[in-house]
Amino acid sequence: GTLVVAALYKFAKLDEYEALQKPLLARCEAHNVKGILLLAPEGINGTICGQRKGIDNVVSFIRGIKGIGQGLSYKESFVSSNTLQQGPFYRMRVRLKKEIVTLGVEGADPLKTVGTYVDPKDWNKLISREDVVCIDTRNTYETQIGTFKGAVDPRTESFREFPNWVSSNLDPKKNKSVAMFCTGGIRCEKATAHLLNQGFENVYHLKGGILNYLKEVPSSQSLWDGECYVFDERVSVNHNLQMGSFEKCRACRRPISEADKKHDMFEEGVSCPQCYNQYSEEQKKRFRHRNKLVKMAKARGDTHLGSDARPKKMRKLREQELGKLADLTPDMAIA
């Protein structure tokens, strides 16, 4: 059958966000909906997957939360259960956070100030202007498999690095018009707020992010080049929002191509050309053990959900990155 993947977020004042965790998780589990949702005082962010009826029920529950309502940013894509037997997610998690996406600077509050939203149909015209600098706010492992033609890649490893990149590479006096984009739109909410706080005049962002653009703009008119990284087991989606050609390195979680898998530095579940030198032999030994357990579980028809093989530092980075999850986007937990 076909599963619905829903990427969503909303900046809203949620004073009693902690009290929402258990009922939201219970609602998802009751309808066999899996994924990850982040709750924080500033709103909700996440990506979930399930059957049509289950997704509709959970989204209705979320829209019923005081402060959320119909203003929820919401995008759907679809995946065949034949393609991904377990679906894009193995389980459901509802996590409490200080922020639903972490920029790492004070004062970037989309509820107070935010850039100008640009509909996908108007995006090409905007980023083709000579006076506009177009910036990809995503991280290197995302930008390396796809981006807009002519976009500037800050080459960040974490969204927290973005403010420093801005201060070193952009000037409000020279860069009068700045257009930004991300997977599902949520990172740009904070990125545009930050730029406006820094004195930039004309700050734009792609409404609904890359996922919305791929949905609304025909490939024949598209300025998108490549595939779009997503924060789930699909790894990437193509211009038709169908599962892309990349897989995921189970050690570092970065996307890998067929060419990467043929590289001498690739070992399934242990390393890829991008992370081969990051880990010690002791860590790789643990990775091999975990990969063996995964294969044994798969042979039994089970899903291995044991402790993550990655070192604590990498897991912490992943936790931070889940803050863009509409982006998961779903957009991950995120966008």
Active site residue 249: no
Distances (CA, A) of 329 to 182, 185, 247: 10, 9, 16
Q: How far apart are CA 11 and CA 61, in angstroms?
A: 17
Neighbours of 67 (CB within 10 A): 15
Show Cβ contacts of residue 239 under 8 Å, excluding neighbours closer than 6 positions.
Answer: 214, 219, 222, 224
Residue 71 buriedness (CB in 10 A; 0-12 / 13-18 / 19+): exposed
Terminal Cα distance for the chain, rounded: 25
Count the residues in the chain: 335
Query: DSSP 3-state assignment of 318?
Result: helix
- CB count in 10 Å sphere of residue 59: 18
For β-strands 43-50 and 34-40, DSSP reports them as: antiparallel
Catalytic residue, chosen from 28, 182, 228, 272, is 182
Tokens of 224: 């998108």
Residues tagged active-site: 182
